[in-house]
């Protein structure tokens, strides 16, 4: 299916690995010109190098950074059609998951909200005027199933993502009539470096459960979270939904939240 994305311009944050890398690769394959933002590059992102890809090194917790990243799209490619707010998760120096509300102090909460919500607010603030100049656009915020299912594990992160979901609804109401669609994608546990890297979620849970890294990824975590599919989500499965929402094929879809969670959420 032709997603009718060829020639569009996109900004993707958190682009060097995991879900963000899969999104960048997918959009490039659809003919999109992409500004990819992340703190640093990666071998995988560099392998995608070409005239349609610009990498911007940015720490999105810096207040000016989201706006500067969005501005590069106009500088490099003349405007902006798509914004994918994918950067999120644990801020630098923070260990997740946490198992209790009392494990996070005020500074921890501020850091999680800066990274997972305030950076999105700032990116949208910069992106919407550019989109309006082109008659519209698509904003896709990568949220989390934790934003819909409260839990004592990572309560600060879940609260930030719930705020993102509310933000998307509000933005869709204000700017939808002007052609800017805003949607969220809510992944469950995804097989990314957040889980797999040394000291990541798999190692933290292994220590809690008296297990080991590989057993957590393949058995303990899927069983603990009662995943219907019995496995963690593949990043490409999230990227495919993001690409569809970015596409004019989804012209009547706005203010929606698409769950890609392996069956984590059980409520209707």
Could you read off the pLDDT of 77-94 as tens digits, one per residue? 999 999 999 999 888 878
211 and 124 assigned to the same domain: no
Domain presence at residue 4: no
pLDDT band at 194 (very low <50, low <70, confident <90, very high): confident
How far is Cα 93 from Cα 98, in angstroms, rounded to an integer? 13
Is 80 exceeded by the pLDDT of residue 101? yes
If asked whether residues 13 and 87 sit together in one domain, one would say: yes
Are 20 and 115 in the same domain? yes
Cα torsion through 87, 93, 96, 102, rounded to 10: -120
With respect to residue 2, please indicate whether it lies within any of the assigned structural domains. Answer: no
Assigned domain for 268 exists: no
Owning domain of residue 251: 9-190+234-260
35 has pLDDT over 90: yes
Q: Which residues contact 242 (CB under 8 A, 6 or more apart)?
A: 23, 26, 84, 86, 140, 142, 185
Lowest mean pLDDT among 38-42, 196-200, 235-239, 243-247: 196-200
Average pLDDT for the chain = 95
pLDDT value, residue 66: 98
**Partners of 138 in the β-ladder:** 82, 181
Enzyme catalytic residues: 157
Residues 113 and 216 grouped into a single domain: no
Model confidence at 161: pLDDT above 90: yes
pLDDT band, very low/low/confident/very high, at 137 (cuts 50, 70, 90): very high
Residue 184 has pLDDT above 80, yes or no: yes
Pair 149, 206 in one domain: no
Domain count, the chain: 2
Percent of the chain with pLDDT over 70: 100
CATH at 36: 3.40.50.720
- Tell whether 226 and 138 lie within a shared domain: no
Question: What is the percent of the chain with per-residue pLDDT over 90, rounded to a whole number?
Answer: 85
Per-residue model confidence (pLDDT) at position 151: 84
CB atoms within 10 A of CB 219: 13
Question: Is 80 exceeded by the pLDDT of residue 56?
Answer: yes
What is the rounded average pLDDT of the residues 148-155?
A: 88
Which stretches of 144-254 are DSSP H helices?
A: 155-175, 193-196, 201-209, 213-215, 221-224, 235-246
User: Do residue 168 and residue 220 come from a single domain?
Assistant: no
Contacts of 172 (CB under 8 A, 6+ apart): 181, 182, 183, 254, 255
CA-atom Rg of the chain in angstroms: 18
Residues 59 and 169 in one domain: yes
Do 150 and 215 fall within a single domain?
A: no
Tens digits of residue pLDDT in 62-82: 999 999 999 999 999 999 999
Q: In this structure, is residue 180 part of a structural domain?
A: yes
Quote the pLDDT of residue 253: 98
Query: How far is it, in rounded angstroms, from Cα 84 to Cα 80?
Result: 11
**Inside any domain, residue 3:** no
Query: In angstroms, how far apart are the furthest CA atoms of the chain?
Result: 55
**Residue 217 and residue 151 share a domain:** no
Residue 108 — very low, low, confident or very high, per pLDDT cuts 50/70/90?
very high
The answer to whether residue 113 scores a pLDDT higher than 90 is: yes
204 pLDDT higher than 90: no
Q: What are the Cα distances from residue 261, in Å, to 39, 146, 226, 227?
A: 26, 10, 11, 8
State residue 245's pLDDT score.
Answer: 98
Residues 219 and 118 in one domain: no
Asked if the model's pLDDT at residue 95 lies above 80, the reply is no
State the Cα–Cα distance between residues 161 and 156, nearest whole angstrom: 9
Is residue 62 domain-resident?
A: yes
Together in a domain, 215 and 143: no
């Amino acid at each position: 299916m032709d997603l009718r994305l060829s020639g569009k311009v996109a900004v993707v944050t958190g682009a060097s690995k995991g879900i963000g890398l899969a999104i960048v690769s997918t959009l490039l394959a659809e003919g999109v010109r992409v500004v990819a933002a992340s703190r640093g590059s990666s071998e995988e992102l560099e392998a995608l190098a070409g005239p349609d890809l610009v990498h911007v090194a940015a720490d999105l917790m810096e207040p000016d950074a989201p706006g500067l990243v969005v501005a590069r799209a106009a500088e490099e490619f003349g405007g902006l059609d798509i914004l994918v707010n994918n950067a999120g998760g644990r801020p630098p120096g923070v260990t997740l998951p946490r198992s209790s509300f009392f494990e996070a102090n005020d500074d921890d909460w501020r850091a999680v909200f800066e990274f997972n919500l305030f950076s999105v607010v700032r990116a949208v603030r910069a992106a919407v005027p550019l989109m309006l100049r082109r008659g519209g656009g698509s904003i896709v915020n990568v949220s989390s199933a934790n934003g819909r299912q409260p839990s004592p594990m990572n309560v600060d992160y879940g609260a930030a993502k719930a705020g993102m979901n509310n933000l998307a609804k509000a933005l869709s109401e204000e700017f939808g009539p002007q052609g800017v669609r805003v949607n969220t994608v809510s992944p469950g546990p995804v097989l990314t470096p957040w889980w797999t890297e040394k000291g990541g979620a798999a190692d933290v849970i292994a220590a809690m459960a008296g297990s080991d890294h590989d057993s957590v990824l393949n058995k303990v975590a899927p069983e603990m979270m009662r995943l219907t599919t019995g496995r963690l989500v593949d990043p490409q499965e999230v990227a495919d939904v993001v690409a569809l929402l970015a596409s004019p094929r989804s012209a009547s879809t706005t203010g929606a939240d698409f769950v890609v969670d392996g069956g984590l959420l059980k409520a209707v």
